[in-house]
A and B are shown apart, each in its own frame.
Chain A
Amino acid sequence: MEYPSGYKYTKEHEWIDVTGDRGRVGITDYAQQQLGDVVYIELPEVGTALKEGQSFGTIESVKAVSELYSPVSGEVVEVNAALKSKPEVVNTDPHGSWLIAVRLSEPKEIAGLLDAAQYGSLVK
């Protein structure tokens, strides 16, 4: 699966799609492959303040549980409630399944993230 060129990536296998001062955050295709069948995602409340690298929830597959880490600092302004009943879409459409939207408080952090080519070679 291609890594969208407009997204930025972390070494912990999250992506962020930034538009203006907001970014939608999800996990990468590589991450969903490693996890296997996703069955439950625990997401934060809207309004939660996050620091870059801070855990904002957990994602569970049949065999394992993983922490989710925020690529940036900011406030959670939206959570993808549809994932409660259909967590498996993270497996079928990882780059289209955002988990949370964050209002960035430190936009310069984006420059420190990986681009699609860098991330692609990381997980090769």
Chain B
Amino acid sequence: MSSPPLKKTALNARHRASGAKMAPYGGWDMPLEYSGIAAEHMAVRTGAGVFDVSHMGEIEIAGKDALAALQQISCNDASKLQSGQAQYSGLLTPNGTFVDDLVVYRLKADHFLLVVNAANLFKDYAWIAEHIASAGDAVAVDSSSRYALLAVQGPAAAGAVQPLTGVDLASLAPFSFAHGEVANVRATISRTGYTGEDGFEIFVPPQSADRVWQAVLASGEADGLVPCGLGARDTLRLEAAMRLYGNDIDEETTALEAGLGWIVGWQKPDFVGAAALRAQKTAGLTRRLVGFELVDPGIARRGHEVLAGGARVGVVTSGTQTPYLKKSIGMAYVPADKASPGTGIQIDIRGRTANAIVVPLPFYKRTTEPEGHR
């Protein structure tokens, strides 16, 4: 069976011309690394990096009943959002497991932008359309082709972006966004990201993406800003214990098991998955997603089994050797009685049993809040 051709972002030619190592991801031809995963990872922790994340999907929901529709399908409580604010959330099945995870942006009172995982876009769109059909005046539109998305991340991100825009970044709180221009290109600047650092995600029209990319690189160069690929994005997000759909969360794992109870709008009267999550909360969890550090040498990878007392009790969902912490870390689902930090577990690494210890999440947390935010 032949696969469909890979999709290309507006920056594809730029990545190839710049010598990035490319790889397929979620149906897209994406840069895996520029200067190397470790170097890019360190740049984002200590300076800044710019990522092309235009593969992410965008779905808009609009209409006078848009909020009510969204409240049904998104597990977090969108009524807490003012226009110009965003929140992390999930689209859940009736079982409380993940159709996808996403960020919800409130553009206007009755207009929302949902940023979803590239590989899930069509599934999400169909699921949303089906579930809001009876919600009154609310329509969902797949507007992914209208946006290129650049993520500028790291302690030097604000310094790199500020000279390019009239938007006062110091007044932009985390998980808020503003409309304006970047490098004379119409843009929406959001103080969000997937690295555990301060930073911005910048939505621009695809035809202008290269101009913004070049401008950000030039502006940040002196402060150590480098172009980055999805390899470093993965190690950065894992160090920050941000879940990756398809690895750490999926249609088999609930929001509670994944440790994401904080994105559940428990006060809402109802939403898809609510009954299952309330029942699970009452009954108690049988398994949890935990972080672990390997004590023995090696790297635990996705799919490796977790052992305890010789029995197979769980599975690794993500694992890597982190360039910044210089530890071999991972996340795994384990029985609830093995989930407390300090618990010893073993990982079956291709037939070799390696000792590991459960540790609190996240592995890495930045020590300073973004400068100037109030």
CB-CB contacts below 8 Å: A16-60 with B: 36-37, 39-40, 42, 58, 60
Cross-chain contact B298 with A42 (CB below 8 angstroms)? yes
Q: Whole-angstrom distance from the CB of B204 to the nearest CB of chain A?
A: 29
Chain A residue nearest to B230 (CB atoms) is: A63
Give the contacting residue for A40; candidates B21, B231, B298, B350; CB below 8 A: B298
Chain B residue nearest to A63 (CB atoms) is: B231
A39 and B297 in contact (CB under 8 A), knowing A62-B235, A63-B231?
A: no
Cross-chain contact B301 with A39 (CB below 8 angstroms)? no
Chain B residue nearest to A37 (CB atoms) is: B38
How far does the alpha carbon of A40 sit from the alpha carbon of B32 in the complex, in Å?
20
Give the contacting residue for B323; candidates A42, A60, A62, A65; CB below 8 A: A62
Cross-chain contact A36 with B231 (CB below 8 angstroms)? yes
Q: Which residues of B contact A37 (CB under 8 A)?
A: 36-39, 323
CB-CB contacts below 8 Å: A54-103 with B: 58, 60-63, 65, 84, 88
Chain B interface secondary structure, helix, strand, loop or mixed?
mixed
Interface size on A, residues (CB 8 A): 13
Q: Which residues of B contact A61 (CB under 8 A)?
A: 37
How far does the alpha carbon of A36 sit from the alpha carbon of B235 in the complex, in Å?
13
How far does the alpha carbon of A45 sit from the alpha carbon of B365 in the complex, in Å?
39
How far does the alpha carbon of A39 sit from the alpha carbon of B36 in the complex, in Å?
13
Chain A residue nearest to B234 (CB atoms) is: A63
- B320 contacts partner chain A, Cβ-Cβ < 8 Å: yes
Cross-chain contact A62 with B298 (CB below 8 angstroms)? no
Q: Which residues of B contact A60 (CB under 8 A)?
A: 298-299, 321
Cross-chain contact A62 with B320 (CB below 8 angstroms)? yes
Cross-chain contact B231 with A39 (CB below 8 angstroms)? no
Q: Which residues of B contact A88 (CB under 8 A)?
A: 38
Interface size on B, residues (CB 8 A): 18
How far does the alpha carbon of A84 sit from the alpha carbon of B297 in the complex, in Å?
9
Q: Which residues of B contact A58 (CB under 8 A)?
A: 350
How far does the alpha carbon of A63 sit from the alpha carbon of B229 in the complex, in Å?
12
- B33 contacts partner chain A, Cβ-Cβ < 8 Å: yes
Q: Whole-angstrom distance from the CB of B343 to the nearest CB of chain A?
A: 24
How far does the alpha carbon of A62 sit from the alpha carbon of B323 in the complex, in Å?
8
Chain B residue nearest to A58 (CB atoms) is: B350
How far does the alpha carbon of A65 sit from the alpha carbon of B349 in the complex, in Å?
11
Q: Whole-angstrom distance from the CB of A45 to the nearest CB of chain B?
A: 14
How far does the alpha carbon of A58 sit from the alpha carbon of B298 in the complex, in Å?
10
A62 and B301 in contact (CB under 8 A), knowing A36-B33, A40-B321?
A: no
How far does the alpha carbon of A90 sit from the alpha carbon of B320 in the complex, in Å?
19
Q: Which residues of A contact B301 (CB under 8 A)?
A: 65
Chain A residue nearest to B21 (CB atoms) is: A36
Give the contacting residue for B297; candidates A36, A42, A62; CB below 8 A: A42
Chain B residue nearest to A62 (CB atoms) is: B37
Q: Whole-angstrom distance from the CB of A86 to the nearest CB of chain B?
A: 12
How far does the alpha carbon of A42 sit from the alpha carbon of B328 in the complex, in Å?
15
Cross-chain contact A39 with B299 (CB below 8 angstroms)? yes
Given contact pairs A37-B38, A37-B39, A62-B38, enumerate 12 new A-B contacts (beta carbons under 8 Å): A36-B37, A37-B323, A39-B321, A42-B297, A42-B298, A58-B350, A62-B37, A62-B235, A62-B323, A65-B299, A65-B350, A88-B38
Q: Write the residues of chain A forming the contact surface with B, with a CB cutoff of 8 angstroms.
A: 36-37, 39-40, 42, 58, 60-63, 65, 84, 88
9 A-B residue pairs with CB within 8 Å: A37-B37, A37-B39, A39-B299, A42-B298, A62-B37, A62-B235, A62-B321, A63-B231, A65-B350
